[in-house]
């Protein structure tokens, strides 16, 4: 045995910072592209940003008036500065911080809004309220998706859950005359779709994508069938639900800008805030979430510590369905006082995109859905205040924005390890 025993190699592993030129490159490209707008199509006049909803609001804020083209140029200049900062940092081997990206995006947005709304008034409250409204069903849907996938079951059936939720809410809401029962019915409908998904995916090991896709078709078939054979002829009794009323929350709704956007909403939107918070908190800070994530990451490991994998999956897939079903209720208890055939129009797929975009995290998925809602409504507002772009291109905007965001900024993302895998015990 040797006499000298000493460490020759240090225990610590070296760390280096990985620098990627992606951020500065994307910044540069967007800065140049954006600069082309005020350059090639300079806009006359001023842009007015209105910060109150109406003249009747309790607290009045003056309109924000800025000269359109100069503001755009200022933003371009600041974006160029941000690009240079990102470039220098990358060259120094340090990654660009998140705040720089946020600042950049805000500049891009402000510049674009100023340029595009030349000579018009941009109602900020309406822009944001509409975004939230468009995002709400997507958020519910995406949360349902997050829970499903986090417990290891891919939920392509969000669309089915939204649609069946919308249908049941309209039906039960009409029959009982109260939106609350409509909401419960929507949750039950979503839950039942989740149950079918669970039976096939968990008990019969059927490929989860198959079940999801097929459920979407099935629910379109069923709702349209019953809509046209039963509901459409009896609109007054079967398809005219009482809607949730807008409730202003005292004090909070008086906060300038944010108040009317966030706190003059229907109960369903407030429920959405609560559900997002609960799901986030529950997922990361409670026993329920810990077990759920364990089952989705490594079902066998969960099994070895006494967690019932199949039962956990069943329960949570149904819970996920119920949450997505609430999103369905939004269609017929908030947006529109009637059910219409295929009225969710593919929102479930957008919710699916939002949850992947949001990396299977409830908060990020919510933000992704909000981004989508914002882009959609921005398109709407611009088509109203007059834009030189054909309507079809405006309608394309949210999808293009999402495409760029996903491909440019987000990139590779890692789903829960066991998502999509059936758990077959020995």
Partner 1 sequence: MSAAETAPKPSRWHVALRQITTGGAAISVLSVVLALIAGSVLIAITNESVQSAAGYFFARPMDTVAAVWDAVSGAYAALFRGAVFNPNASGFAAQIRPLTESLKFATPLIAAGLGVGLAFRAGLFNIGGQGQMLMAAAGAGYVGAYLDLPVGLHLLVAVVAGVVAGGIWAGIAGYLKARTGAHEVILTIMLNNIALYLLAWMLATQGILQAPGSNNPKTAPMAETALLPNLLGDRFNLHAGFILALVAVAFTWWLLERSSLGFRLRAVGENPHAARAAGISVSRSYVIVMVIAGGLVGVAGVSQVLGTVPTGFGGDIDAGMGFDAITVALLGRSSPIGILGAGILFGAFKAGGFSMQAAEQVPNEVVLVVQSLIVLFIAAPPLVRAIFRLPDPAQPRARKRGRHAKAVTV
Partner 2 sequence: MKLELRGITKRFGALTANDHIDLTIEPGEIHCLLGENGAGKSTLMNVLYGLYQADDGDILIDGAVQGFSGPGDAMAAGIGMVHQHFMLIPVFTVAENVMLGHEQTKFGGRLDLAAARARVHEISKRFGFNVDPDALVEDLPVGVQQRVEIIKALSRDAKVLVFDEPTAVLTPQETDELMTTMRQLRDAGTSIVFITHKLREVREVADRITVIRLGKVVGEAEPTASNAELASLMVGRAVELTVHKDPPTLGDEALVVSGLTVTDDVGTVVVDDVSFSVHAGEVLAIAGVQGNGQTELTEAIVGLQDRVSGSARLNGRELAGRSVRDILDDGVGFVPEDRSVDGLVKEFSIAENLMLDRSHGEPFVSRGTIRQNALNDFAREKIDEFDIRTQGPAQAAGRLSGGNQQKVVLARELSRDLSLLVAAQPTRGVDVGSIEFIHTRIVAARDSGIPVLVISTELDEAAALADRIMVMYRGKVVGIVPGDTPREELGLMMAGMSGSSALGGETSA
Partner 3 sequence: GAAPEEETASGGNGGTEDAASDFLPCIVSDFGGFDDKSFNQLSLEGVVQAAEELGVEWKEVESNAETDYAPNLENLVAQGCNAIVSVGFALAPATIENAKANEDIDFILVDDAADADFDGETDVPTIKPLLYDTAQAAFLAGYLSAGYSETGKVGTFGGQEFPTVTIFMDGFKQGVDYYNEEKGTDVSVVGWDGETGTFTGGFEAGPEAKSAAQNIIDQGVDVLLPVGGPIYQSALQAIKESDSDIALIGADADLYETDPSTAEFVLTSILKNMDLSTYQAVTDSANGSFDPTPYVGTLENDGVGIADLHDFADKVDADLLAEVEALKESIIAGDVAVESYLG
How many residues bind partner 1 (CB under 8 A)? The answer is: 54
Q: Indicate whether 357 belongs to the interface with partner 1 (CB under 8 A).
A: yes
Total residues contacting partner 3 by CB under 8 A comes to: 46
Q: Which two tokens stand for residue 414?
A: 């890692």
Of positions 66, 81, 103, 222, contacts partner 1 by CB under 8 A: 222
Judged by beta carbon distances under 5 to 8 A according to partner kind, the member of partner 1, partner 3, partner 2, none in contact with residue 410 is partner 1
Closer Cβ to partner 1, 278 or 405, answer by number? 405
The piece of 48-56, 263-271, 311-319, 413-421 that touches partner 1 (CB under 8 A) is 413-421
Q: Return the residues of window 124-153 that contact partner 3 according to CB under 8 A.
A: 125-127, 129-130, 133-134, 136-137
CB-hemisphere CA count at 13 Å for 88?
A: 7
Which uninterrupted H or E stretch holds 46? strand 46-50
Q: Which of residues 261, 268, 343, 356 is near partner 1 by CB under 8 A?
A: 356
| 383 sits near partner 1 (criterion: CB under 8 A) | no
For residue 1, the partner it binds in partner 1, partner 3, partner 2, none, with Cβ less than 5 to 8 A by kind, is partner 2
CA pair distance 377, 373, nearest whole angstrom = 6
Cβ-based neighbour number of residue 124 at 10 Å: 21
Residue 284 near partner 1 by CB under 8 A: no
Q: Is 410 among the residues that bind partner 1 (CB under 8 A)?
A: yes
Residue 362 CA to residue 136 CA, distance in Å, equals: 13
> CA–CA separation, 139 vs 270, rounded Å?
12
Closest to 320 (Cα-Cα) out of 102, 201, 154: 154
200 in contact with partner 1 (CB under 8 A): yes
The string of DSSP codes covering 178-194 is: -HHHHHHHHHHHHHHHH
Return the one option of partner 3, partner 2, partner 1, none that residue 380 interacts with (CB less than 5 to 8 A, by type).
partner 3
Residue 231 to residues 159, 160, 184, 226, 239, Cα–Cα distance (Å): 21, 19, 19, 6, 6
Residue 336: Cβ within 10 Å count:
15
Angle at which helices 287-297 and 309-330 pack, to 10 degrees?
A: 110
Cα 63 to Cα 48: distance, rounded to the nearest angstrom: 6
The burial class, CB within 10 Å (0-12 / 13-18 / 19+), for 267 is: middle
Half-sphere CA count of 153, side-chain side, radius 13 A: 38
Name which of 19 and 335 has its Cβ closer to partner 3. 335
**Cβ(402)–Cβ(375) under 8 Å?**
yes
Q: Show contacts with partner 1 in window 65-104 (CB under 8 A).
A: none
Decide whether 148 or 179 has the Cβ nearer to partner 1.
Answer: 148
Residues engaged in binding partner 1 (CB under 8 A): 149, 154, 156, 200, 204-207, 209-211, 213-218, 220-222, 224-226, 228-230, 346, 349-350, 352-353, 356-357, 390, 392-393, 395-396, 399-400, 402-403, 406-408, 410-413, 415, 419-421, 424
- Interface residues with partner 3 (CB under 8 A) are 53-54, 56, 121, 123, 125-127, 129-130, 133-134, 136-137, 227-228, 232, 240, 243, 246, 330-331, 335-338, 340-345, 376-377, 380-381, 383-387, 389-392, 395
């Amino acid at each position: 045995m040797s006499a000298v025993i000493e460490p020759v190699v240090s225990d610590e592993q070296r760390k280096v910072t990985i620098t990627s030129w992606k951020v500065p490159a994307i910044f540069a490209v967007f800065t140049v592209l954006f600069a082309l707008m005020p350059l090639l199509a300079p806009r006359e006049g001023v842009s007015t940003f209105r910060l109150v909803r109406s003249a009747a609001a309790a607290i009045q804020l003056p309109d924000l008036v800025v000269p359109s083209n100069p503001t755009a140029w200022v933003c371009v200049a600041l974006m160029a500065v941000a690009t240079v900062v990102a470039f220098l940092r990358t060259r120094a081997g340090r990654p660009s911080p998140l705040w720089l990206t946020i600042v950049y995006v805000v500049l891009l947005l402000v510049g674009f809004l100023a340029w595009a709304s030349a000579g018009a008034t941009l109602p900020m409250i309406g822009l944001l309220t509409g975004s939230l409204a468009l995002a709400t069903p997507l958020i519910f849907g995406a949360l349902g998706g997050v829970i499903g996938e986090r417990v290891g079951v891919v939920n392509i059936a969000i669309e089915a859950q939204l649609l069946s939720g919308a249908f049941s809410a309209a039906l039960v809401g009409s029959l009982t005359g109260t939106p609350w029962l409509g909401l419960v019915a929507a949750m039950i409908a979503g839950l039942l779709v989740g149950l079918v998904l669970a039976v096939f995916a968990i008990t019969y090991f059927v490929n989860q994508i198959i079940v999801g896709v097929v459920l979407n078709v099935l629910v379109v078939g069923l709702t349209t069938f019953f809509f046209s054979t039963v509901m459409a002829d009896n609109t007054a009794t079967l398809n005219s639900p009482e809607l949730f009323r807008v409730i202003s929350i005292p004090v909070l709704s008086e906060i300038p800008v944010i108040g009317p956007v966030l706190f003059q909403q229907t109960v369903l939107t407030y429920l959405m805030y609560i559900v997002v918070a609960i799901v986030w908190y529950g997922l990361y800070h409670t026993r329920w979430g810990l077990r759920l994530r364990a089952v989705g990451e490594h079902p066998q490991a969960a099994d070895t510590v006494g967690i019932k994998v199949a039962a956990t999956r069943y329960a949570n897939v149904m819970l996920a369905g119920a949450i997505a079903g609430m999103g369905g209720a939004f269609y017929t208890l908030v947006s529109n006082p009637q059910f219409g055939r295929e009225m969710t129009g593919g929102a479930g797929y957008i919710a699916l995109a939002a949850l992947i975009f949001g990396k299977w995290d409830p908060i990020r998925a919510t933000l992704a859905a909000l981004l989508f809602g914002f882009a959609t409504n921005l398109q709407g507002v611009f088509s109203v205040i007059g834009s030189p772009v054909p309507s079809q291109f405006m309608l394309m905007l949210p999808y293009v924005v999402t495409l760029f965001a996903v491909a440019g900024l987000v990139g590779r993302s890692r789903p829960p390890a066991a998502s999509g895998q059936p758990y077959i015990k020995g």
